[in-house]
Structure 1
Amino acid sequence: MLIKTNMMKKNTFQFIFEQSGVALLLLDQFGTIVFANEKFSRLSGFENAEIQDQKNILDFFGERDQNKIKSYLVNRAFQSDFANGLECFLNRRDGATKDTLLVLNDDSASNQIIATIIDVTAFRKRLTHRLRSQQHKFIANLASGIAHEIRNPLSAINTSVEILADCLSLSSQDEKLMDIILEENKRLAKIMTEFSYFARLKAPEFRLVSLNELIQELFDSYQEKLPANIQFTLNLAEKLPSIYGDHEQLRLFLKQLIDNAIEAMGEGGALTIKSKITTNNLNEKQLVIIIEDTGVGISDRDLPNITRPFYSTKDQKLGMGLTWCERIIENHFGEIKVQSKVDTGTQVKVFFPIMIPSEMI
């Protein structure tokens, strides 16, 4: 009778675990996984048979998180960090990491530990997207105001200097000073134009866009004006699905990246654009555009800042180009990843969702 009762309890326990909407583990006092539900198997990428009685919970986390979990296992005392949830990075079988919330609770009846692991990767991604969108909106409003307030005085300065230059008898030194004023005035006007363009960027008008066709159109348009010392090639996947996007914004976005790559190869080099389908950490299909150049590259110090507003390593540049690019891609629910090495080149990967995000509907 006792064996039958224990078996019923075990079956009931497993049923509750499997019906849960989150990943659950049952651990012994040393952290060995006694039972794992199907949600955890999918989250970690491991089969259930590879987990139960085979792995310790520590096997799924990095050293920083392991030390905190070990402390709990050794002390077995109430710790507010784990009762409220501790942010940990879970290592999947495929090498990817998941941003998770780990909650550990003692089951006093069985002297075991129940681990609840909540995947917050998608939530954090949406939150980051929202914060960046708010930042870009603020900058756009600021840019619009600055451009409006400065453009008229610049025009007045330019006109006044030209009139004075025509009316006055100037020495050669004075003429040089007048030329400096006019040149700097033109530079400021160019900056204001860049400001205005960023501020005027509208919400995308979504419709089906073939990125392969768009890339081919741009490729053809560059053939006559491309420097002779730069080799431009395409490697586009066949039967690439269309995405929902704003055709004109995506064209300007890709043109900006191509222009950046060409500018980085002043001494010549190779520019390649590829397209393919891949799967992200959430097991969602994505379309990827890869733009590679063999230019001067970007230093480790500058790389984290390249999409930051007003950050530029180039003279006479305002530093809004890649900020503007990032804004376009975020409005298309995509993502940009940049890898670069000085004197070797730069690779830009742009990820687009294939399915229609609910915000587009």
Structure 2
Amino acid sequence: MIKEETQQAYAPEINEIHDISLALTNANDFLSSHFLDGTFTYAAPSCETLLGYTSAELHGKSIFSFCHPLDQDKLEQYFSSYQSGEILFRFRRKEGDYLWLESSSTRGPSQSELVLISRNVTQRVNREGKLKEHQRRDRLFLEHSKDTMGIITKNGVWTYINVQGKKLMGATSFDEIIGTSLYDYIDPQDYKLLKESLDSRNSSDFEISLIRKDNDSKRAEVQLIPTVFKNRDVSLIIIKDITEQRKTEDQLQVAEKLSVIGQMAAGIAHEIRNPLTAIKGFTQLLSEHPAEEAEDYAEIILDELARIESIVGDLLVLAKPQASNLSHVDLISLVNGVVNLLNPQATLSDAFIKIQTDTPELYLECEPDKIKQVLINLIQNSLEAMTKSGEILVDISKDCGHASIKVIDQGTGIPEDRLNKLGEPFYSTKEKGTGLGLMICQKIIKNHGGKIEFTSIVDEGTTVMITLPIKDNPFGHEEPAEFEDTL
């Protein structure tokens, strides 16, 4: 009876002690007490879950003997000076690996004791370490990049720029650029383009003219990548100086056009010589025959002169400088003009160029002379690949908002392992070719928002497919009279 009453009287305290023990065993925090020399005087049961040691195994041992060698001096100083606040150090578990403990201290019951409350922060420290490593790596990448890299606000204000950017802008220090606007360094004609790109908050690529601090102008390729930094909408900006590249490309386009004209010279001369011969002969007949037959001779002479005029007109399209502004052009008419221009050369090679299309008109927004340059180059390549008589088919079709132009020849074909290299400078399937022609063609088509693809079978022929975005006829079904002059 007395025993039962005693148990009932102490039951609340026993339950409370049990609850405390259970809490200490399963706590995330590890409670321990130590003499100032680091010796364990107490270790909470949670040490077994956290560290792998039982309380008995730690009792009487020094915490310094479990500390990582690189952290030991710091921990000993913490104990000896009895610093307040927190300390971060590595503790060796029973299995041999280390975990990071973040500990705070307080005075124990005895002034010679220190009570530590420690928490496992290994995951947090590792995350912070990875973050710092990524930040260090990113900074090294930014600082040593050959391109200008920086961060601008949604209004275009520089908040960061790398060393290459300082050089590109012609500044003597970063302070000259940070806080200024990108708009201060670009041609006013590009303001609208930059604003639209910044406002869209989408990744974008475009070209602008940069004005350096010394007023020197550079052509630059810009890439904007929207991101968030310190809770602010910003954009990572990458600027590549393409001034020399553009100059080289312009020179190559001029050289390629001259080369094309030179290659066509034999065919054009042959085609013009034929009507000239007829004109010369009938002119002589006019002086020898009665006047009543002059009308028939004159009609033939006029037809031959018209033929020469047509050929010369097509040549003038190539020679005449064209504005760089885009025009609305009927692709069917443009291709017809190119084919009429090259058919004389095809005749010399015992070949024929045929046009096939399922639409009467198909409009593009393009630079006509450059699209003609591409088509002339591709058709001439086909002619040169034709070792025997045959047909070159130019197929034009419309599909899902795009125009497709296929140049299909019956030439020798190109091995599959060489197809991927087409368009690389100084790589050509021709014995004396430079490969610059296809490179320029690919650049022109890319600038028009299109692409070029090559397929080929050896000894059967090659197909080159050009895909370009189409534009509805701005003039309706009736084309203005002056439109033909732009072709």
Give the TM bin, normalised by the shorter chain: 0.3 to 0.5
Larger CA Rg, structure 1 vs 2: 2
Give the TM-score taking structure 2 as reference length. Answer: 0.32
